[in-house]
Structure 1
Amino acid sequence: MNIVKSDSRHPLQNHKIRVEEASLSEYMEIDVELQRPCPCEEPAEPDDEYGRFQCVNQGYLNCGMCICDEGWTGTFCNCPTDPSNATTTEALLRTCRQPLDKEDNSLATEVCSNHGDCECGSCLCDPGYTGNFCECLECIDCDEERAECYCGQCVCKYGWSGTQCNCKDSTDECTGPTGEICSGRGSCDCGVCKCREPYLGEFCEIDAEKDNKLCQFYEPCVICLIAQKQHMGSCENVNEICFSAQYNERFTHLFVNELEAETVCLVRIVNKNGIQCDSYFSYQVVDHANYLAIQANDCEPVNIYAMFGYISLITVLLGLVIIALIWWCLRLKDAREYARFDQEQRNNARQENPIYRDPIKRYEVPRALSIETNTDNPFAD
């Protein structure tokens, strides 16, 4: 607050009010110009009940202001003078201004850093601010078990890091089953692997052009499990093969008909029938526990008799189909030839000699002659 004195004939008092939101960095300043009030000529009434009630019964009201009893001060006489040894309102406001040097010789002009109200020599901070002079922002998402708040900033305890102290300094979360941090292809950032190009995967184990380190790591275990399932001989050291002694990994496997995973690994073995067979599996790592889903193919040998029967049946069916096609083609060809012959006969006009007379003639007896009774016509009825 800045107070500017002016000419006594036109007494003025200037106040600067700063309005801001705790969660925003913007603010607004308002300059208010007040005229000094006229001198008060109201007689004092120390025993007036209403006036003493307005001043918390520790003073009396005179000219709209509290005149405090001995030992009390403040706007409403609600502040004792003993704790701060301040006897005036200005002295109380002084205790709410932040010191600018170690000897407290220089004080800030803002009361409670413009982020609170001065109450009896102590700052009552606005929401979002803290500190003796409301000079610090409150910490956001600062876990007390992982960090301590110092003037708006989370200072991480031992073993934690990050802007919110939510990251462990340990790299255990980035260490894959192979025992490497991010498979040696990236860096661990807050418990998550940041892979270099062109590597992918939770542990940067996938090289799209070459290999998958975890597929290679799990392959001996998966081969052993498939061998046990298909009775290809005992795999006595399955626990040893499917176990990483360095990190005490746990393996849980499940045989499925179809795999539903983005990353699928291929394992190729020769089964008990001597057939090279391809099977597939997918992996998932949760809290250093390995979960394997295996799609094992039996690849049974071909039945010769069944194959011969199928080939014979297919041959007979194919022969019948060919015969039917040939017969249909011949019928279609004959139909086309006949249609063409018939059309040619219709289009061929018959040429006759005008001198030629057909020797065969037909005569018809007139009806009038045939009905006479006295005729000698032998053709009459």
Structure 2
Amino acid sequence: RVAFAVRESGQGISKMRWLGVYFIGICLSSILISSTSAQSALGSCSVAKTCGECLVRSPECAWCKSENFAEVENFPRCDLKSNLLDRLCLEEDIVNPENEATTTGDSPLTEPDSGTPVDELVQVFPQAISLKLRPGKTETITMDILQAEDFPVDLYYLMDLSDSMKDDLVSLRTLGALLAAEMQNITSNFRLGYGAFVDKKVVPYVEITPARLLNPCGPSATCEPPFGFHNVLPLTEQTERFSQEVGVVKSSGNLDNPEGGLDALLQATVCSEQIGWRERARHMLLFSTDSPFHIAGDGKLGGIVMPNDGLCHTDSVSGLYTEATTQDYPSISQLSAMMEENRILPVFAIGKASATAQDPYVYYEQLKDFFHEAYAERLTQNSSNVVQIVKDVYASITSGVKLEDDADKEVIDVGYTSYCLGAAPQKGVSGCEGLRLGDKVQFALDITLKNTSCDGDKRTFSFKVGPTAFAENLEVTIEALCDCDCSDNTIVSPDYCSNGNGSLVCGACTCFEGRSGRLCECDRDEAEGVDEACVAPDSEEKLECSGRGTCVCGRCECDYRANTREEISGPYCECDNFSCERYKGEICGGPTRGQCVCNETSWRSECVCNEGYINSNCNCSLSTDTCIAPNGRLCNDEGDCECGACTCRNPEKFSGATCQLCKDCPSECEINEPCVQCKAFGTGPYDDKQCDACPHPIVVVEELSDREGSETCVFTDDDDCSVYFTHEILPNGTYYIEVKEEKECPGTPEILWIILGIILGIIFVGLALLLIWRLLALIHDRNEFDRFEKERTTVQWEAGENPIYRPSTTVFKNPTYGK
């Protein structure tokens, strides 16, 4: 197999480690399914009659080209290689070609900062591989991808010049220089171009009166005449010309809301020479509009019925689309295919429509899903975020790698496993995210050629696989191994083929017309219809040899099975030893119950049961060992033992495997209590005779074992002691009981401690009652005091004089005082 080493030390070791895990997983999977695939392969191999047919049947099939091989036994020449060797076919006589892989293009990847010219950059390794594959046999190859830094970028700005975009046009005149400067920061090898579109110059898309054709905006404004597509500025490294060209462009106008954007997109895609797309560069096409688009078929409204031919019709001198009025709009699938073929990445930058129109963004959000890779972004009111959109999209496309192939899925199947920067292998994933320029990732490709590759005369196939945005890819050429090399050494009319009645090809006879048989020994032509001599008399399908053998000279030769223990037999191959009825997935219940043999009277496969088993699939055992209940009785005396299983007579009351479970009956614990008492402790209701009749062994142990399937029981005996025991049914069917040696009995109480406890209890209760009384009294007093304080603060006092009050002294005034 082909494996290409990763050359980076740290990342390479991790990748190789995961690659090793991947191949180990493949080997383990192959081992696990080898038995199944071998059996299915042999059933397909044995019917092949030629070496070429043998190779196509299954990748496990091999062909023995020895002339003497068929004379040993009537074994098929096409078989598993191991079977051919076991049947004495020599190694050198076995035709079993293996897959081959040869690297025919192995230029190493360009390392970062190597200064390699653009035309010599290598981002894909290897570049070409030649494979020789057997149909159905998978070949795994690896592929390295490294995104080169400073890789060239071509950006073509395609703008809607209808009058509703005039504000965006004014803004674009100032943004051109900024856009060029930002892209120069990303890559020094940058080219910028500009194109514009309106719609087809026919009714009902534009008004065709002479005045309106010259100025579609009317007398109140000045506009450019309408046009389908105009390549204003081809891609150029002189990015300053972008602002100059946009500065002299004026908006135009049309009648209906949808524009002719698909026409412009197709011309900008297929006109590589006029636009200036470079072969080795990333191609970005920024499409700016605020309106929906016309689609294929809309041209009929304007009398245009000729379908779009998908070719370039942009004049090299004027830059105008010349077939706008004669060809219909392209279909979306047509445009998508052209963009994928030319590696164009469309970016739909959509502005807002007027308040009365539907938001056009919803159309382009759905449109991008029809392209192999596309983006849809919203523009601000005046397209001022165009630069940011371009930066974000470029960062997005360079942060990931996604592989695509153009293999014919009817013939070739390609599976992917990714190894992304040392991460675990991801089977079925063909891409990696979170990358930076200069990062290297690896992919494993599982390539399988289908059997349909050998149906025709074509034996060579090819396909390409690579990242969607790259011009580089891996070219895989496949030669289908549908024929054997020994076929070139055909011997015509040898004596080996019944004295010249056929040709000897790879050790087998290919009979002439009118002859048949392994050695062309029969004078009948087995190609003409069905040989009635090989059809069973009672066959409704009228198949030769019951469809499981080959009719040779009127006699059936039955096919062989991958499992040598399986045989097909009978005069018409109608019998075998592997098609009998099954029980629990095994033929006749397995070798311990019976064997599948062929009844030579009826020539039908049937089971012959071993002693102790009956029925057509030997599912019924005559033994009653599995019907013994825990109490030693057959089905607990409540059922019948049929085919080793109990059928309870009263299923509403009794259930369980041996009818041992009873809803209204004592439990197993209750049933075994008397035996446990008498056997373990010599107590209980049973006398000696009854104790001796206990059916199950009882073992006294220090500690009960906690085994799965055992049930723990406990009961109280006459001494008020707790007795613990377990019961279970052992794998051999024995009912087993374990009893704990020591009972758990309550101890004898001491009177002093009881009296002391009572006294202390009375004291504690008295103290508790006293504390409760004191607490209640305190609460009551506090409530009374609070009520008194409240009444005192709310009382109102009135001032007044007592009418009967007289002072105790009399005041006299001296009339002569002061004179």
What TM-score results when the alignment is normalised by the length of structure 2? 0.29
Q: How many equivalent pairs are there? A: 283
The residue number in structure 1 matching 2:519 is 78
Q: Secondary structure at the match of 1:318?
A: helix
Contact kept in structure 2, 1:55 and 1:61, CA below 8 Å:
no
What amino acid is the match of 2:720? Q
Aligned equivalent of 1:304: 750
2:610 aligned with 1:157:
yes
Higher relative contact order structure (alpha carbons within 8 Å, sequence separation ≥ 6): 2
1:138 aligns with 2:579: yes
The Cα shift of 1:333 comes to 1.6
Per the TM alignment, residue 159 of structure 1 is displaced from its structure 2 partner at its CA by 0.6
The counterpart of 2:634, out of the listed 181, 186, 190, is: 181
Give TM-score, length-normalised by structure 1.
Answer: 0.57
Q: In the alignment, what sits opposite 2:783?
A: 336
Judged with a 3 Å threshold, the aligned counterparts in structure 2 of structure 1 residues 304 and 194 are, in CA distance, closer, same or farther, namely farther
Alignment partner of 2:673 out of 219, 225, 234: 219
Call closer, same or farther: CA 1:280–1:345 in 2, change over 3 Å: same
Identity across matched positions, percent: 23
CA contact (8 A) 2:635 2:641 kept: yes
Matches within 5 A, 1:294-373: 294=739, 297-305=743-751, 306-353=753-800
**CA deviation profile, 1:149-193 (whole Å, cap 9, x unmatched):** 144543322212466535421112111243321212233344343
Give, in whole Å, the separation in 2 of the partners of 1:242 and 1:313: 55
The answer as to whether partners of 2:680 and 2:698 remain within 8 angstroms in 1 is no
- CA distance in 1: counterparts of 2:789 and 2:616, whole angstroms: 98
Give CA deviations for 1:84-133 in whole Å, capped at 9, x if unaligned.
Answer: xx643549944532233xxxxx9972112234544673121678994423
Deviations 1:268-315 (A, max 9, x none): 422xxxx33453533112223232244664223441334334444444
Query: Where in structure 2 are the equivalents of 1:60-209 lying within 5 Å?
Result: 60-61=502-503, 66-67=511-512, 74=516, 77-78=518-519, 87-90=523-526, 93-100=531-538, 109-118=542-551, 121-124=556-559, 130-132=568-570, 133-136=572-575, 138-139=579-580, 140=582, 141-142=586-587, 143-150=590-597, 151-161=604-614, 164-195=617-648, 196-209=651-664
For 1:328, what is the secondary structure of its paired residue? helix
C-alpha distance in 1, partners of 2:653/2:794? 80
Shift of 1:318: 3.1
CA–CA separation in structure 2 for the residues paired with 1:354 and 1:115: 141
Matched, 1:283 2:730: no
Q: Does the Cα contact within 8 Å between 2:630 and 2:660 map onto a contact in 1?
A: no
Query: Given residue 241 of structure 1, which amino acid in structure 2 is its aligned partner?
Result: D
Q: What is the Cα-based RMSD across aligned positions, in Å?
A: 4.7
Matching residue's letter, 1:50: T
Q: 1:149 to 1:65 in 2, by over 3 A?
A: closer
Rounded to whole Å, the distance in 2 between the matches of 1:302 and 1:253 is 26
CA gap of 1:154–1:307, structure 2 versus 1, over 3 A, is farther
Is there any run of 5+ residues in structure 1 with no aligned partner, and where? Answer: 1-47, 101-105, 360-381
SS at match of 1:334: helix
More helix by share: 2
How much has 1:147 moved relative to structure 2? 0.8
Shift of 1:138: 1.7
Bigger Rg, structure 1 or 2:
1
Q: Shift of the alpha carbon at 1:338?
A: 1.2
Deviation of 1:261 after TM superposition, in Å, equals 7.0
Q: Deviations over 1:328-380 (max 9, x none)?
A: 222122211111111111122223227899x9xxxxxxxxxxxxxxxxxxxxx
Contact 1:160 1:169 in 2 (8 A): yes
Letter in 2 for 1:208: K
Task: Show the 5 A alignment for 1:16-35.
Answer: none
- Contact 1:115–1:126 (CA<8 Å) still a contact in 2? no
Residues 64-97 of structure 1 deviation map (CA, whole Å, 9 limit, x = unaligned):
962399xxx635x437x5xxxx643549944532
Q: Which runs of 4+ in 1 moved over 6 A?
A: 53-56, 125-129, 235-238, 257-262, 354-357
CA–CA distance in 2 between the matches of 1:330 and 1:251?
68
DSSP-derived class of the 2:717 partner: strand
Cα distance between partner residues in 2 of 1:53 and 1:300: 108
Residue 692 (structure 2) aligns with: 241
| Alpha-carbon offset, residue 236 of structure 1 | 12
Change (3 A) 1:67 1:252: farther
CA distance in 1 between counterparts of 2:615 and 2:724 reads: 40
- Offset, 1:264: 5.5
Q: Deviations over 1:218-238 (max 9, x none)?
A: 33331135427xxx89x9979
* Matched AA of 1:98: A
Q: 1:147 touches 1:156 (CA, 8 Å); kept in 2?
A: yes
* CA distance in 2: counterparts of 1:258 and 1:307, whole angstroms: 38
CA distance in 2, matches of 1:257, 1:352: 97
